Amino acid sequence: MRVLVVGGGGREHALVWKLRKSPRVKRIYCAPGNAGIAELAECVDIAADDITKLVKFAEEQEIELTVAGPEAPLAAGIADAFKAEGLKVFGPVAAAARLEASKVFAKQLMQKYGIPTAESRTFTVAEDALEYIRRKGAPIVVKADGLAAGKGVIVAQTMAEAEAAVKRMLVAGEFGAAGKRIVLEEYLAGEEVSVLAFTDGKAVVPMAGAQDHKAAYDHDRGPNTGGMGAYSPAPVLTPELLQQVRREILEPTVDGLRREGITFQGVLYAGLMLTADGPKVLEYNVRFGDPECQAILPRLKGDLAEIMLAVNSGSLAEATIAWHDRHTACVVMASGGYPGTYATGKVITGLAEAAAMPDVYLFHAGTAVRDGKIVTAGGRVLGVTAWGDTLASALEKAYRAVRTIRFEGAHYRSDIGHRGRAGTS
């Protein structure tokens, strides 16, 4: 089988790595890929959101399965375009991807189908939003409706912060079209977890649990990022809790969409707060999380390509999905300044030494080859991933590898897995 993976980050490197292990997969392409992916797949110089070119490439190369990694092409209808040409694609159609692409749509669906989430209201007029904030007080959460690369959510601890966020979105237009509508949401306290599931629009199969670390710095300080590390399993996500999330959140979401005439096929990701009243949805994603994917896929037994084909053909209920007992940890090494502005083109050393360490795999995120050297090319540069019999051993191996890798300005969190290790999660 000939496979095309769309995207070029750490998640896509993990997808390519796992798909390569499938006996059915004979050839893998990745558009656009990165320096690490290039060691496993043929990288194609097409942007992840250039849907017309991707369809043309898939037709010309007789691609039998295309896997869409990031949210932007899904929201823009990559699955619709492939399906219209009779091409197999893993990832939801645009109508289903609205769960991630529009917070307003997601909130409406949750309200309609009784899916537990924070109380919220939608606004387009700043005055009305400000008046609501004055009534509700802080802390309060301000969310841009549309896709904002993980930066469209402001958890305001004070009224002044909340008011400033509203003005940035609705008055100054800093978030463009994504911030023309906003959601003001009740602040939820608790521990945050991600539950990812495969679904073919009927069956929902949760994956092994994982926990992400969104804040840029140790002790969950600093601005939110796309994710600075992840580990799996997350002790807080017990098998019982995973089943509860499936019953009360994931299945009602997929069923609700179906009643709206929308079939969700792909990965449904629920970002949850474990509150005193049970798990509540903070957000949906319509794809693998990055870096959760890097922590989860090394634990998947069996053949990812088979699972993806089962999702595509609506036969997920018959597929076998099982997990290795091993623990995994992924530590993201980022460019200095990320998630703000950062320089690129910094030479990375120590990669070969780190990659040779046992039970370690380097998933590249923002890397490129320049003059024969691997250089930084993005905010998140590498997802240094390791596995072991315990979380502590996985973390030790991952950090040993991290310490051998160097590039100017590199920063990483030194406390990935801290909650899991403390046994509080």
- Contacts with ligand GLY by CB under 6 A lie at 212, 226-227, 285, 289-290, 292
Whose structure tokens read 């009360």?
Answer: 248
DSSP state of 185: E
Measured from the CB atom, the residue of 228 and 304 that comes closer to ligand GLY is 228
For residue 232, is it left (φ>0), alpha (ψ between -120 and 50) or beta?
beta
Ordered alpha helix ranges (H), 76-213: 78-84, 94-101, 103-112, 126-136, 159-166
* DSSP labels, 49-90: T-HHHHHHHHHHTT-SEEEE-SHHHHHTTHHHHHHHTT--EE
From the list ligand AMP, ligand GLY, none, partner contacted by residue 126 (C-beta under 5 to 8 A by kind): none
Measured from the CB atom, the residue of 227 and 388 that comes closer to ligand AMP is 227
CB of 282 to ligand GLY, least distance (A): 11
Measured from the CB atom, the residue of 66 and 211 that comes closer to ligand GLY is 211
Measured from the CB atom, the residue of 166 and 267 that comes closer to ligand GLY is 267
Contact pick of 99, 210, 268, 282 for ligand AMP (by CB under 6 A): 282
* Distances in whole angstroms, Cα of residue 230 to Cα of each of 39, 183, 331, 415, 419: 24, 28, 7, 11, 11
**Other CB atoms closer than 10 Å to residue 240's CB: what's the count?**
8
From the list ligand GLY, ligand AMP, none, partner contacted by residue 185 (C-beta under 5 to 8 A by kind): ligand AMP
Measured from the CB atom, the residue of 33 and 152 that comes closer to ligand AMP is 152
Measured from the CB atom, the residue of 153 and 237 that comes closer to ligand AMP is 153
**Other CB atoms closer than 10 Å to residue 80's CB: what's the count?**
17
Q: What is the distance between the alpha carbons of residues 48 and 78, in angstroms, rounded to a whole number?
A: 9
* Distances in whole angstroms, Cα of residue 47 to Cα of each of 5, 19, 84, 366: 12, 21, 20, 14
From the list ligand GLY, ligand AMP, none, partner contacted by residue 292 (C-beta under 5 to 8 A by kind): ligand GLY
Ranges within 149-188 binding ligand AMP (CB under 6 A): 153, 155, 185-188
From the list ligand AMP, ligand GLY, none, partner contacted by residue 251 (C-beta under 5 to 8 A by kind): none
Measured from the CB atom, the residue of 40 and 138 that comes closer to ligand AMP is 138
From the list ligand GLY, ligand AMP, none, partner contacted by residue 285 (C-beta under 5 to 8 A by kind): ligand GLY
Structure tokens given for 142: 């301000």
CB of 26 to ligand GLY, least distance (A): 29
Contact pick of 64, 71, 192, 200 for ligand AMP (by CB under 6 A): 192
DSSP state of 93: -
From the list ligand AMP, ligand GLY, none, partner contacted by residue 254 (C-beta under 5 to 8 A by kind): none
**Cis ω before 339 (30° cut-off from 0):** yes
Structure tokens given for 251: 């299945």
Contact pick of 283, 306, 359, 415 for ligand AMP (by CB under 6 A): 283
CB of 188 to ligand AMP, least distance (A): 4
Cβ-contact 16, 64 below 8 angstroms: no
Closest CA to 282 of 232, 224, 338, 336: 224
Rule CB under 6 A: which residues touch ligand AMP? 118, 141, 143, 153, 155, 185-188, 192, 214, 224, 271, 282-283
